[in-house]
Structure 1
Amino acid sequence: MSDSLLFSFLPYAAVVTAVAGTVHRLTVREPTRAPREPWTPAGRAVLAGGVTVALNHLLGLAAPKAMQAFSASPARLFTLEAVSLIGGLLLGWGLLSLTLRRAREGQWLQAGFLGLLVAQVLTGLHIAVALRWASVWYLHLAVPYLRSVLAFQPDATLLAQAPLVFQVHILCGFVLLALAPFARARKVARVALVPPASEPNLLATPREETAR
């Protein structure tokens, strides 16, 4: 399968899979929610870093001309890159901590999903550091491609000529989109909560079973 065909087919396959997974989850009875607990440092890092990175991506996709005008100033571009890099580092550290926590608990499926998120963040950090000016790369390569996908006229011409790490970053994002509904979101989220006072480890979570 050629790169262009892969980039044209995978987004829609990921969306169909995600919709099917969401419908399945809505038809399955969820357990009663546990009482709310404060977040661990790793959980707060994931929240802060995730919001920062997501806003950068969404604003570029929704208003590329405004973002391009904002980035025309070297000072503003440097500030945007610095904030995005800090957000990516926070997100990566938090996700890695939570992944290790799940692995220590033997929760391999959850650890695998979180590990894919870590890989996605690492490729983004590599683009930001090694290729430099990732915001510009994103606006000129990824945004036109993503907008063509949303318009149901996928055009991966430019993206197929991008560096391999940039392509992997995009493809990994679609894979995560497809897998997200099948991850047990509540258990993934609860790993970021502070445990009861009887458990000293900050990265531990409240017990997920109501009885042994």
Structure 2
Amino acid sequence: MNTWDLLLWGVLPYVMLAILIGGTIWRYRYDKFGWTTRSSQLYESRLLRIGSPLFHFGLLVVIVGHAIGLVIPNTWTAAVGVTEEMYHVVALSLGAVAGIATLGGVAILIYRRRTTGPVFMATTWNDKFMYVVLVLAIVAGLATTLISVFGPHHEQTYRDTVAPWFRSLFVFQPDIVAMSQATLEFQIHTLIGMVLFMIWPFTRLVHAFTAPLHYLFRPYIVYRSRDGRPSSARAIRRGWAPIGTPDRESDRPTRRDRRPTGGRR
């Protein structure tokens, strides 16, 4: 272990966490109106309908795969009867498919952003830098997957080096030696990933922290027509009232219940 190993694998991860957490809090307090993806669907939707699902669903599988591979130790999977060969076949096959889908999705989104005039005009330098780092992270991940299978050091996996180092960070005892023994492709992929998380709070990627899950449970939108008939002649069709909100329709006074509160009639 040398000074560079200490800085890269012992100091930089905590700097990244400080920037990620502190930057997110700062962004939420001082830029709530900018906490958005700045949707450009109004300008172009055909390519967006293809690229966005590919990118988001592929990225979701990639994140889940990283979480399982880095958090769950080898002994746990072996205890339930999953051998190393079985684990790597499933992980590499799913990882390759998800990585290709994610890369294809982001490629379509970048092509759309570059070739659609209004979308390109709404692209900032911040967005361009974010796309560069994001593409580098995806490409490095795919390259690491291929090299880990066909490379000269295919017998050495991230579960022996990167995963122990990752878990050690949360107990504030970073296993620098384990990470320093990882192959170069794993180290490059890890460094690019840390850079991505450091710029995360200051880009449009911050919207991932506020996924609109409440959309699944929000009430239906009730449309009422203006046909000129008196309200008593129309059948009242009640909508789906959200839990915890007052019943506005029943609380509204009718014409008969309204009385003057004072003054001259």
Q: TM-score, normalised by structure 2?
A: 0.62
1:166 correspondence with 2:186? yes
Pair 1:26-2:28 in alignment: yes
- Give the Cα–Cα distance (whole angstroms) in 2 for the partners of residues 83 and 97 of structure 1: 21
Q: What are the ranges of 5 or more consecutive residues in structure 2 without an aligned counterpart?
A: 209-265
In the alignment, what sits opposite 2:140? 123
Q: Which structure has more RCO (C-alpha within 8 Å, separation ≥ 6)?
A: 1
Q: CA RMSD in A?
A: 3.1
Cα distance, 1:60 vs structure 2: 2.2
Name the SS of the counterpart of 2:157 in structure 1.
helix
Cα distance change on mapping 1:86 and 1:169 into 2, 3 Å: same
Measured after TM superposition, the shift of residue 31 of structure 1 is: 5.6
- Measured in 2, the distance between the counterparts of 1:120 and 1:32 equals 23
Q: Which structure shows the bigger proportion of residues in helix conformation?
A: 1
| Aligned residue in 2 for 1:181 | 201
1:5, distance to aligned residue in structure 2 (A): 2.4
Identity of aligned residues (%): 25
In structure 1, the gaps of 5 or more residues are: 189-212
Identify the residue that residue 47 of structure 1 maps to in structure 2: 56
> Secondary structure of the residue that 2:176 maps to in structure 1?
coil
Aligned mates of 1:165, 1:32 — CA distance in 2: 34
Q: 1:143 pairs with 163, 174, 187, which one?
A: 163
Counterpart of 1:55, as a letter, is V
- The letter of the residue matching 2:178 is L
Structure 1 residues 141 and 71, CA, compared in 2 at 3 Å: closer, same or farther? farther
Which residue of the partner structure matches residue 94 of structure 2? 83
- The answer as to whether partners of 1:21 and 1:182 remain within 8 angstroms in 2 is yes
Deviations 1:93-144 (A, max 9, x none): 112332344455152321221221111111111111122188x722211110
After superposition, give the CA deviation of every residue in 1:57-77 in whole Å (9 maximum; x if it has no partner): 112233223345665163553
Greater Cα radius of gyration, structure 1 or 2: 2
Count of matched residue pairs: 188
Aligned CA distance change for structure 1 residues 175 and 155 (closer, same or farther; 3 Å): same
Name the residue aligned to 1:93: 104
